[in-house]
Structures are given as structure tokens and as C-alpha cells.
Amino acid sequence: MDNIAIQVKEVEKVYKLYDKPSDRIAEALGFGRGRKRHREHHALKGIDLTIRQGECVGIIGTNGSGKSTLLKIITGVVNPTRGSVTVNGRISALLELGAGFNMEYNGIENIYLNGTMIGFSEKEIDEKMDAILEFADIGEYVYQPVKTYSSGMFVRLAFAVAINIEPEILIVDEALSVGDVFFQAKCYHKFEEFKEMGKTIVFVSHDLSSISKYCDRVALLNQGVKLGEGEPKKMIDIYKQVLVGQYAVPESGESLLDDEELRRAAAGQRGTSDRGAAAAVPADGISQNPELLEYGSRKAVIAEYYITDEKGARTSAVLKGSTFTIHMHVRMQEDIQAPIFAFTIKNVRGTEITGTNTMFEKAFLDPVRAGEERHVTFTQRMNLQGGDYLLSLGVTGYENDDFTVYHRLYDVLNLTVVSDKDTVGFYDMDSVVEVR
């Protein structure tokens, strides 16, 4: 227990919502005793979360899922209605823009204000001032009231203060998306330094690539409930189900689904014995991922899938620099106005590397009838670096302007790229080099 940085136990947060200000005043003064003038909004419902020292933990979820409320409770900005939070270590928090800053003060004054609130003396802040100003890099604006700052300048100063006061726990809530690309790169480099130093980081973001890259573990919230926590790739895949309304939200207090139940829920609450002929099958000799995530309304079904090399042979290994083709046999169970066929390639950590679909490519925009089948192929040159990747497939569309998933197969096949020359990053630019 000594290595726990943050312990959240059965935390609930209930807000009282009033239709008009007079109802709030009347209830506060006790007018009309026994009459309820408010509605209750349960922002958090029995959240448990343990974060250990040195971990980088991501918190993801849709807007209104309770992410920011949880961070505010952890940092002491908001008190929980029920439950408890224990924090071991000095916290530095970068919450929404404006938190902890006085808009009338200039940048320098706000640096002293924030440092003092955290517990530093004026002398200690003086010693850190140069490092803060260098990282923020906002020039003479630091002497102007922060109410005159752009959002980008504001987040530069706020992050510079947050990471230069030697916190043991750094909490960041989405604010980095405001800065420019160069500042974001500098911030993420600082994340790497913090991780190497054994600092604890709690990171809320809609940038799933950053969540996948930097986080050791991810907690997924939805409608105030923690759906689960675990490795980033698994939680991100479940989050994508939530985004399209195809994940059942458990009631507060229910036990979380185990791995097998998660897979069944992802497939639309079907057991393995119920899949029958409608289930997708891989090509002969190609192993399917036993942990694949499958879900959708199944108005269209991916009945078969495979990869072929440039000679047309079915394979799961592709030579770098060669041409390969991804195949999908799709069966229509109902009439569909305009199905969209798609593939995505991810690395083993779950970061989406590349992919496309027939809508992007303007390749197929026609209606289809129930009973029809389509053989969809995506042919391209393999320029990814050597290594193992995961292939995901999908059939989606729009119904009355609402995005709908008909059938998705996440991480269904392993794709191995065989290479005798790897460059930097995920993708080979295939450069032509001249030295004169």
C-alpha cells in the first residue's frame, strides 16, 4: 500500500439542478418545506480507482461521462457527495482554462499565486521563475493581465507552471489540445521525462493516439459509471463501441464484465454458440485473433476476410515495398442506403497507423438490397516499417444522418511486415537520396 499515489473509493457526486435561480434561493431559505425544487444529476456513481506511484493512467469517456468531475475531486477543487479520496504526494493540476488563475493578475503574479497555493515560498518560486518563463515562451505578454491572453498563450503559461514546480503527481485535463503543434510536442517530451523520473501522471484526453502511446493503464467512464480499466488498446476499443451506442452501460454497483462477457457484449450479447453462418471467418490457414472484438447491428455481415500478396496468394506476411490487397466478403441482411466499407491498421499498442474506407476514396456510394453480396478489395503498397500490426475491418453507414455500425471486427488478423530496411517511425517515406 505504500506505493499508492491516489486511492479513490466508492466516490459519488450528485449535483442539484434548478429550473430557475429563485428555486435555489427558496430551497436554501427553507420556504415550502417538504417541497423538492431541484432535480438530481449523478455525475459519478460509485467510482473506485487506484493509481500507483510512477504510473501514467489515462481516463477516457464521452463528454459528460464524469472525467473532469473526478479530476476535480482528486485535486480537492470539488468535494464528493459520498466516498473518499486519498492522495499521497504533491499534486500539480492543469484543469480547464482559468482554473487556479486570477484573470486580473498578470502572468508573473499568477505564477506566484499558483506556487504559493501549492506550498512554495517566494524564494523557491524565484528559483524556478526562469525555467517557467523559458518553457512558456510568451515573451513580454507575461507582464500583461492574463484576461488578455489567447487560449494558446494561457495554456503555455499554465503548463509551464504545472510542470516546473516539481510535482509528484501531475494531472492534465485535455488542456494540451489548445496549444500549437510545437508546444504540444514540447509538452509530450516533458511527459516522457516525468515518466522516466518515476512521477505519477493522470491524463484525460480525447486524443486516443496519445492515450495509447503514453499511458500504462486506462480507465473508461461513461455516464458517471466506470465501465472498466486495463491496457490502453482494450479500453480504447470498448470506448469506440460506446461512441456508436453499442455498449450496454452497467448500473452503479454492478460488477464489471469479465473478458468473455465483454466479448459477448461487444458482439451484441450473443454467445459463441449463437453465431452460426452469419459469423465472419478468416481464410484457410490464416489464424484469427481469439481476442477479437466484434459488434454491430448486423444489417450487413463481413462473412469472410483475408489478405493476398502481389502474386494473389493468401497470406498474413507482406514484404515491405510490395503490393498487397485486403479482401472483405460482405453479405447484406437488410436493405442499406449506402454502406461504407473500411479497414484500419493499428500497432500492437492500439495506435491507429493508417486506414481508409470507400467513402473517403469515393469508390462506392450505391444502395444495396437484402441478400446481395459485395466483394470489397483495398490494394496498396506496403510502406510500414517491419513488425507486427493488427487489421480491423468494418461496415458502417448513415441512417437519417445518424452514424450506424453494421458490423465491426477489431484486431481480427495479425499482419506481419517483413523488411530488410527500417527507417524512423511507422512509415517509410521511400526517399530518393542524393549526395553531391
Residues 94 and 32 in one domain: yes
Query: Which helix (H) or strand (E) is 191 found in, with range?
Result: helix 181-196
In this structure, is residue 32 part of a structural domain? yes
Half-sphere exposure (Cβ direction) of 421: Cα atoms closer than 13 Å? 7
15: enclosing H helix or E strand: strand 4-18
pLDDT band at 165 (very low <50, low <70, confident <90, very high): confident
- Is 112 among the domain residues? yes
The residue behind cell 469479465 is 258
Q: Are 295 and 264 contacting, i.e. CB atoms less than 8 angstroms apart?
A: no
Q: How confident is the model at residue 277 (pLDDT cuts 50, 70, 90)?
A: very low
Mark whether 222 and 313 lie in a shared domain: no
Q: What is the CATH number of the domain that holds 96?
A: 3.40.50.300
E strand residue ranges, 61-133: 82-87, 91-94
Q: Cα(106)–Cα(114) distance, rounded to whole angstroms?
A: 12
Please give the Cα distance from 412 to 389 (Å, whole number).
11
Q: Write the CA distances from 67 to 45, 168, 222, 257, 369, integer angstroms.
A: 12, 21, 9, 21, 43
Domain end marker among 239, 258, 290: 239
- The reply to whether 435 falls in a domain is no
For 34, other C-beta atoms within 10 Å of its C-beta total 4
Give the mean pLDDT of 210-217: 88
Q: Indicate if the alpha-carbon torsion angle 99, 105, 108, 110 is positive or negative.
A: negative
Give the lowest-confidence range in 66-80, 95-109, 196-210, 344-358: 95-109
pLDDT for res 32: 65
pLDDT (average), residues 30-34: 69
Q: Is residue 436 part of a domain?
A: no
- CATH number for the domain spanning 400: value is 2.70.50.60
- Length of the chain in terms of residues written: 436
Report the alpha-carbon angle 31-42-6, nearest 5. Answer: 120
Alpha-carbon span 113 to 185, nearest angstrom: 27
114 φ, ψ to 5°? -65, -45
What whole-number distance in Å separates Cα of residue 397 and Cα of residue 357?
A: 11
Q: Is the CB of residue 137 less than 8 Å from the CB of residue 59?
A: no
Q: Is residue 426 part of a domain?
A: no
Same domain flag for 227 and 112: yes
Same domain, 92 and 224: yes
Rounded Cα gap, residues 391 and 355, in angstroms: 9
Give the total number of structural domains in the chain: 2
**Is residue 181 located within the same domain as residue 302?**
no
223 in the same domain as 360: no
Residue 91 reports pLDDT greater than 60: yes
Q: Which residue has the cell 452460426?
A: 276
Does residue 29 have a pLDDT over 90? no
Q: Provide the pLDDT for residue 267.
A: 41
183 and 44 in a single domain? The answer is yes
Q: Does residue 220 share a domain with residue 98?
A: yes
Q: Say yes or no: 230 and 284 in one domain.
A: no
- Could you report the per-residue pLDDT of 390-427, keeping only the tens digit for each? 999 999 999 988 999 999 999 999 999 988 888 898 99
Cα–chain-centroid distance for residue 255?
Answer: 23
Last residue of a domain, one of 190, 224, 239: 239
* 154 and 26 share one domain: yes
| 431 falls within a domain | no
* Confidence (pLDDT) at 39: 81
**Cα 55 to Cα 46: distance, rounded to the nearest angstrom:** 23
Mean pLDDT, the chain, as a whole number?
A: 84
Is the same domain home to 327 and 229? no
Distance between CA 305 and CA 278 in Å, rounded? 13
Are 217 and 276 in a shared domain? no
Place of cell 482554473: 99
pLDDT digits (tens, 9 = 90+) for 115-161: 887 778 888 889 989 999 998 888 899 999 988 988 788 888 888 88
Note the pLDDT of residue 82: 95
Longest dimension (CA), the chain: 89
In a domain, 245, yes or no: no
Q: What is the pLDDT of residue 255?
A: 39
pLDDT band at 278 (very low <50, low <70, confident <90, very high): very low
Which residue among 239, 263, 290 closes a domain? 239
The H or E element spanning position 107 is helix 107-118
How much is the pLDDT for 253? 46
Nearest to 86 by CA among 45, 48, 117, 60: 48
pLDDT tens readout for residues 290-347: 777 899 999 999 999 999 999 999 998 899 999 999 999 999 999 999 999 999 999 8
Residues β-bridged to residue 171: 93, 202
Compare 359 and 282 and report the one with higher pLDDT.
Answer: 359
Distance CA 4, CA 12 (A): 21
pLDDT over 90, % of the chain? 45
pLDDT > 50? residue 204 = yes
Domain span at residue 278 reads 271-418
Q: What pTM was computed for the model?
A: 0.75
The answer to the question of residue 404 being in a domain is yes
Statement: residue 254 has pLDDT above 50: no
